[in-house]
Structure 1
Amino acid sequence: MGIQTSGCSADADPPRQESFDLEPGLSLLGDEHVARYRETDGEVGYLWNGATCLLLTTTGRSSGEPRTVPLIFAADGERCIVVASMGGAPRHPNWYLNLSADPGVEVQVRGDRFEAAARTLDEAERERCWALAVAVWPSYEEYAARTERVIPVVALERSGG
């Protein structure tokens, strides 16, 4: 599969440049972010506005097609923690609905691509991991204040050996 690294650990030295400053006009949103991340093994796109990002590939719950999105993540040991905030929108993002239907996903952290199982965290574990995520992206607190829904926090755990 990919280059074997320390999984979701963000403790390794990040790339020296901040990817959003590499090229004038490069917004690194959506499909463009995914393409540049894949092309460069995360040299472009791993850091976005100071936050660490991964690529998450789910299976579309209706189409059955692979769907890849860039997401901010926090490391929790070998697990990647992602937040289904959608900026505080009243509904869950499609990627979350997809992994709820099929928790088998692919994750890319820099050059390391691996199969993983996605698990929505229960209340006790969610609280601790929410704090980890907010430390990476403080705006999650604002997003939570904007919505009446409980924003899911998801652990991505590497599958098998």
Structure 2
Amino acid sequence: MNTHRFVKPIMQGLTKLHTLLYNKYGGRFLGTLFGNPICMITTVGRKSGSLRTIPLLTIPYEDDYILVASSGGSPEHPAWYYNLIHQPRIEMTVNSNTFTADARQLSDEEKDSLWPFIIEACSFYEEYRKKTSRNIPVFICSPIS
């Protein structure tokens, strides 16, 4: 049984609720997960052209931020992945600090090099990787000075 089609609308509803609460409380409520910040990214919808804001777990790395397009190990990439590929310049809010960033998808070699760091920060990503046959994309988001 394909549970993904049932989980997707639930996750969309939870994402809207999370965004509402994050914005209402300035990230003080639901602003971290497993010791890592939840960020808000605003992308341009690749089909609609509309601005899309969603909460994502981010892993701070040097002066940048890592985003993992795991979609919980589902068989499909998350919608935000396609938006970043289409338009890699995003607005990002981390710990109430909003800035513009450029998102770059890591090559497989770069991802493999960073994977131990990612797993140390959030071990569940390894379970997601085992759960799906797709190659889970990883982005590095660099703030623009």
The bucket for the TM-score relative to the shorter chain is 0.7 to 0.9
The residue aligned with 2:131 is: 146
Q: Which amino acid aligns with 1:80?
A: Y
Query: Structure 2 regions of 5+ residues with no counterpart?
Result: 1-12
The residue aligned with 1:80 is: 65
Query: Structure 1 regions of 5+ residues with no counterpart?
Result: 1-27
Within 5 Å, which residues of 2 pair with 1:56-95? 56-95=41-80
Percent of pairs identical after alignment? 35
Contact 1:82 1:133 in 2 (8 A): no
Within 5 Å, which residues of 2 pair with 1:114-133? 114-133=99-118
Within 5 Å, which residues of 2 pair with 1:1-161? 29-48=14-33, 50-159=35-144, 161=145
User: What secondary structure is seen at the aligned counterpart in 2 of 1:29?
Assistant: helix
How many corresponding residue pairs?
133
Contact 2:42 2:92 in 1 (8 A): yes
User: What secondary structure is seen at the aligned counterpart in 2 of 1:41?
Assistant: coil
TM-score by length of 1: 0.76
Calculate the aligned-residue CA RMSD, in Å: 1.7
Q: Which amino acid aligns with 1:117?
A: D
Contact 1:74 1:132 in 2 (8 A): no
User: What secondary structure is seen at the aligned counterpart in 1 of 2:114?
Assistant: helix
Q: Which amino acid aligns with 2:31?
A: Y
User: What secondary structure is seen at the aligned counterpart in 1 of 2:101?
Assistant: strand
